[in-house]
Structure 1
Amino acid sequence: MARKDMMDLPGLTALFVLIGYLLGGVPFGVVISKAMGLPDPRTVGSKNVGFTNVLRVSGKPAGILTLIGDMGKGWVMGFAATQLLQDEWAILLVALAPFLGHLFSPFLKFKGGKGVATALGSVLGVAPLIGLLLLVAWIGSVAISRYSSGGALTAFGLFPIIAALARPTGPFILFSLLVTGLIVIKHKGNIERLWKGTESKMGQGRPG
C-alpha cells in the first residue's frame, strides 16, 4: 500500500480532523490579548474573539497577531491535508475542521468567533488561487466600504460562484456552500445592522 493511500485510511483522516478541530478551537484573540496584558475581547466591544474586535479594542499589534493566528490555523490544516491525503472529501473535511473549531471552540464552552479569517486560511491551504481571490475580494470590499463584515460577506458570497467556475467538483462546491452558509449565519446581527445603517466601520472606536 502506498504511503498516501495509507494516509487516506478513515482512522487517520478522523485523527487529522480532531487535531484540526482542537487547533481551530484555540482562541488566539483571547490568548494574545491576555499575553499582552490587554482586555479579554469576550468582555469588551462586540465581545467577539476575532480579529476585528481585537483590532478595535486593543489596537493594531494585537489585531494583526490575532489575524495571523486565526488564518494560520486554517492554512496549516488545509495545506497539510493536501500534502498527506489524496481523497478530496478527506482533504476538505480536514480543512473544515479548524473553521468549525473556531466557531464552536471546545475551550470556550463551544462558543467562538465568526470564522472569516480561519475559513480564508483553510481555503488558501487547499486552493491557494481561490483563496487569494477571496482575500482580494475581502480587502477590496473593506477598502471601499470600510465595513469589515461587509467585506467578509462579499468575499464568501462569491465563494460558491468561484468554486463552481474554478473547481467544479461536488466536494469543493459543497465545502464552499457550507462555509458560506455558516459565515452568513454567524453574521446575522451584522447583516441586520448593515440593513439599518448602524453597522460600525473600520477605524471607528465603537464595536460592530
Structure 2
Amino acid sequence: MTTFAITLLMIVAAYVAGSISSAVLVCKIRGLPDPRTEGSGNPGATNVLRIGGASSAAMVLFFDMLKGALPSYIGYKIGLDAPSLGFIAISACLGHIYPVFFGFKGGKGVATAFGAMAPIGEDLAFTLIATWLVLVFITRYSSVAAMATALLAPVFTWLYDDRFVLPVAMLSTLILIRHKDNIERLRLGEESKVSRKKKQSQ
C-alpha cells in the first residue's frame, strides 16, 4: 500500500473516530440531559460540566482528547510526514465538529485538537493543559482560554519540537475559525462563563 493510500485511510478513520460524540454518550450513560439541547447546546466537556458536574465533564474531556491523540499517534508511529499528520488531526476534529453519527452537529473540537497535539510530547501536552486551565481560572471563559491556547500552541511546539509546527498551526487555525460565534458573543458581552452544575433546591 502506498503512503498516499495509507494517509487517505488514516484520514477517513480519524473522521469516523472523531464522529463518536463522547458528550452525548456519557450523558446518556449517566442519565443526564442531552448536551445538544441543554445549557449552551454544545456537545463538549464545558457544557457537560454545566449540566452534569466535574466527573462527567472529565470523562468527556478524556475521550474527546483520545479521539485526536490516537489517530495522530498511529500516523506518527508509521512514519507519516508532518503535513499528513496535520490532515489526519484535522479530520478527527472535523468528525467531532460534524459527526456523521449525530446529524453532523457536534462540538467545537478543542479537546480533540489538543489531544491530537499531545503525542508530540509530554512537555507540550502539559503546557497546553496548564495554559488552558490557568486562563480559564483567570478569565472564567472557556472560549477565551481555548483561543488563547490555540494561538500559543504553535509557539510552544516550536520551542519543544519544531518539526510539528505546521500541523499544530493547522489545528490552531481550525479552533479559531470554529470560535467565530464566541468572538461575537464576547464582543456583545453575552458569552457564558464556566460554572459547575447548580444543585437543585430541595
TM over 0.5: yes
Give 1:53's match in structure 2, choosing from 47, 51, 56. Answer: 47
Please give the alpha-carbon distance, in whole angstroms, between the structure 1 residues aligned to 2:84 and 2:148: 28
**Percent identity of paired positions between Structure 1 and Structure 2:** 37
Matches within 5 A, 1:1-208: 9-169=3-163, 172-203=164-195
Aligned residues: CA RMSD = 2.1
Please give the alpha-carbon distance, in whole angstroms, between the structure 2 residues aligned to 1:23 and 1:142: 28
Q: 1:82 to 1:134 in 2, by over 3 A?
A: same
Q: Is the 8 A contact 2:49 2:197 kept in 1?
A: no
Please give the alpha-carbon distance, in whole angstroms, between the structure 1 residues aligned to 2:88 and 2:170: 14
- TM (normalized to structure 1)? 0.85
Q: 1:94 to 1:182 in 2, by over 3 A?
A: closer
- TM (normalized to structure 2)? 0.87
Please give the alpha-carbon distance, in whole angstroms, between the structure 1 residues aligned to 2:34 and 2:196: 19
Letter in 1 for 2:13: I
Please give the alpha-carbon distance, in whole angstroms, between the structure 2 residues aligned to 1:123 and 1:97: 13
Query: Once the 2 structures are TM-superposed, how far is the Cα of residue 57 of structure 1 from its aligned partner?
Result: 1.2
Q: 1:130 to 1:198 in 2, by over 3 A?
A: same
Please give the alpha-carbon distance, in whole angstroms, between the structure 2 residues aligned to 1:29 and 1:35: 10
Letter in 1 for 2:176: V
Provide Cα deviations, 1:63-112, integer angstroms capped at 9, x if missing partner. Answer: 11111110111111122222122422333332332112111211123221
| Unmatched segments (≥5 aa) in structure 2 | none
Q: Is the 8 A contact 1:160 1:177 kept in 2?
A: yes
Q: 1:184 to 1:92 in 2, by over 3 A?
A: closer
Q: Is the 8 A contact 1:78 1:126 kept in 2?
A: no
Higher mean C-alpha deviation, range 127-136 or range 43-52: 127-136
| Unmatched segments (≥5 aa) in structure 1 | 1-5
Q: Is the 8 A contact 2:46 2:57 kept in 1?
A: yes
Q: Is the 8 A contact 2:24 2:43 kept in 1?
A: yes
Please give the alpha-carbon distance, in whole angstroms, between the structure 2 residues aligned to 1:92 and 1:183: 13
Higher mean C-alpha deviation, range 85-94 or range 178-187: 85-94
Please give the alpha-carbon distance, in whole angstroms, between the structure 2 residues aligned to 1:15 and 1:81: 10
